[in-house]
Amino acid sequence: MNAKLKIVIVIVLLISACRKEPINSNISAEKPGQNVSLTLADAQEFIAQINPDSGKVLTKIKIDWKLAKNDITKNGNKWTVILEGQPIYQGYKQGYRELVILRDRNSRAISAKILEIIPEAIYLQKKRKANASDFTGRVFEYDLNYNLTGGRLYSGGKPIGLIKQLPQKDLIGNTNQKPRTINPFSGAQGKLMLLAVETCVWLQDYYIDAEGDFTVHSTQVCSTTYFDDSGSGGGGGYYDGIGGAPSEPQQGGGGSGSSSPSSPPPPSNLPGENNKPVNPREMMECFSQIPNPNAAFVVRVYVVEPQPGTSFNVGSNSFGHVAISLTKTSGQNTITQTVGFYPTGTGLDKLSSQSQIIDNGFDTYNISSTYYVTGENFQKVIDFVSNPPKNYHFTDYNCSAFVYGAGQVAGIPIPDPTTQIGLSGPGGAGFAKTPAGMASALREQKVKNPDLDVNEAGGRIPESHGPCKIQ
**Mean predicted confidence (pLDDT) in 371-384:** 97
HSE of 246, CA atoms in CB hemisphere, 13 A: 28
- The size of the chain, in residues, is 471
**Per-residue confidence at 345, pLDDT binned at 50, 70, 90?**
confident
Residue 1, pLDDT > 50, answer no
Query: What is the C-alpha separation between 196 and 179, in angstroms, rounded?
Result: 7
Query: What radius of gyration, in Å, describes the C-alpha atoms of the chain?
Result: 25
Position with higher pLDDT, 202 vs 429: 429
Q: Is pLDDT above 60 for 429? A: no
- C-beta of residue 47 within 8 angstroms of C-beta of residue 112: yes
Q: For 345, which DSSP code? A: -
**Given pLDDT bands bounded at 50, 70 and 90, which one contains residue 225?**
very low
Dihedral of CA 129/132/133/134: which sign?
A: positive
How far, in Å, are 240, 366, 373 from residue 301 at the CA level? Answer: 47, 11, 13
Cα three-residue angle 125-129-135, rounded to 5 degrees: 90
Distance CA 154, CA 129 (A): 15
460 CB-near residues (< 8 Å, 6+ apart): 362, 363, 364, 365
User: Would you kindly state where each structural domain of the chain is located, as residue ranges?
Assistant: 5-259, 277-460
Q: What is the largest CA-CA distance in the chain?
A: 90
pLDDT at 244 over 80: no
CB 429 within 8 A of CB 420: yes
Check residue 105 and give its pLDDT.
75
Helix, strand, coil tally for the chain in percent (to 5): 20, 35, 45
Q: What is the 3-state secondary structure (H, E, C) of 269-286?
A: CCCCCCCCEECHHHHHHH
CA–CA gap between residue 34 and residue 407 (Å, rounded): 65
pLDDT band at 452; cut points 50, 70, 90: very high
According to the model, what pLDDT value does residue 372 have?
A: 97
Residues 423-449, mean pLDDT to the nearest whole number: 81
Task: Count other C-beta atoms under 10 Å from residue 67's C-beta.
Answer: 15
**262 falls in which pLDDT band (50, 70, 90)?**
low
| Strands laid side by side in the 158-165 sheet | 10-13, 158-165, 148-155, 137-142, 110-119, 96-103, 76-83, 69-73, 27-28
pLDDT, position 324: 98
Give the mean pLDDT of the chain. 74
Residue 254 CA to residue 252 CA, distance in Å, equals: 6
Residues 6+ apart with CB under 8 A from 310: 185, 204, 436
Residues 106-115, mean pLDDT to the nearest whole number: 86
**How much is the average pLDDT of 171-185?**
37
Amino acid 365: pLDDT: 97
459 Ramachandran zone, left/alpha/beta (phi>0; psi -120 to 50): left
Asked if 154 and 425 touch (Cβ cutoff 8 Å), the reply is yes
When pLDDT is cut at 50, 70 and 90, the band that residue 384 belongs to is: very high
The single-letter DSSP state of residue 442 is H
Rounded Cα–Cα distance for residues 331 and 173 (Å): 62
Give the predicted TM-score (pTM) of the model. 0.61
pLDDT tens digits, 284-329: 999 999 999 999 999 999 999 988 877 777 777 878 999 999 999 9
Question: 75: burial class by Cβ within 10 Å (0-12, 13-18, 19+)?
Answer: middle
